[in-house]
Amino acid sequence: MSLPHAILTALLEKPSSGLELTRRFDRSIGYFWSATHQQIYRELGRLEAEGHIRALAPAQPARGQKKSYEVLPAGRAELARWTAAAQDPKPHRDALLLRLRAAAVVGTAGLQADLGRHLELHRRQLAEYEEIERRDFPPGRDTAEDRLRHLVLRAGIDLETFWTQWLTQALAEVAAMPSE
């Protein structure tokens, strides 16, 4: 139940419209929370109904027009409450690890190509995060907020680094046992 809180965080960092939020969720926010535009619009509606956010009146109201939202005090309070509350980690599920384990039983035929594709995807993601790091966290800036945000980005970078290494090794293993 964290999508509303992800949206509150994003809106506190910068008031945005649904589409702007969608873009930010695809970019930097994506490394700890992802959401489609449909989810986001639905949730914006709920948050507004609950009085946690409100739409900023556009210059000339018209249909099909950008609506920007800002967080109300009640929304900020809810986010602070949620952030401080104890929460159990969600169990993880990783289809790729499962497939490798399955391959130990039914054979590795056909697996290699997709492992390579995943490796490439993770490499690209890693490059993107490193680009964000260069742009948003140049050496020198050192406020408390920056250090926290940088720490979160580092998690994204280190995880992608791990996956590229692991997939490289997995590919080598699978290549060494042709189709079994």
Residues of this chain that interact with DNA (CB under 7 A) are 1-3, 17-20, 22, 34-39, 41-42, 44-45, 62-67, 90-91, 93
Give 49 or 144: the residue with its C-beta nearer to its own copies.
Answer: 144
Q: Where is 23: in which H helix or E strand?
A: helix 18-26
- Tokens found for residue 34: 């992802």
- To its own copies, the closest distance from the beta carbon of 157 in angstroms equals 11
Calculated CA dihedral for residues 167, 121, 138, 28, nearest 10 degrees: -120
- To its own copies, the closest distance from the beta carbon of 128 in angstroms equals 14
How many residues in the shown chain lie near its own copies by CB under 8 A? 70
- To its own copies, the closest distance from the beta carbon of 40 in angstroms equals 14
Q: Which entry of DNA, its own copies, none binds 82, CB below 5 to 8 A by partner kind? A: its own copies
Among 63, 92, 134, 135, binds its own copies (CB under 8 A): 92
Q: Which entry of its own copies, DNA, none binds 54, CB below 5 to 8 A by partner kind? A: none
- To DNA, the closest distance from the beta carbon of 38 in angstroms equals 3
Give 44 or 174: the residue with its C-beta nearer to DNA.
Answer: 44
Per rule CB under 8 A, is residue 109 in the interface with its own copies? yes
16 backbone dihedrals φ, ψ, rounded to 5°: -150, 165
Count of other CB atoms within 10 angstroms of residue 166: 14
Per rule CB under 8 A, is residue 38 in the interface with its own copies? no
The vertex-149 CA angle with 143 and 90, nearest 5°, equals 145
What is the 8-class DSSP label of residue 60? Answer: S
71 backbone dihedrals φ, ψ, rounded to 5°: -85, 135
The span from the CA of 60 to the CA of 37, in Å, is 24
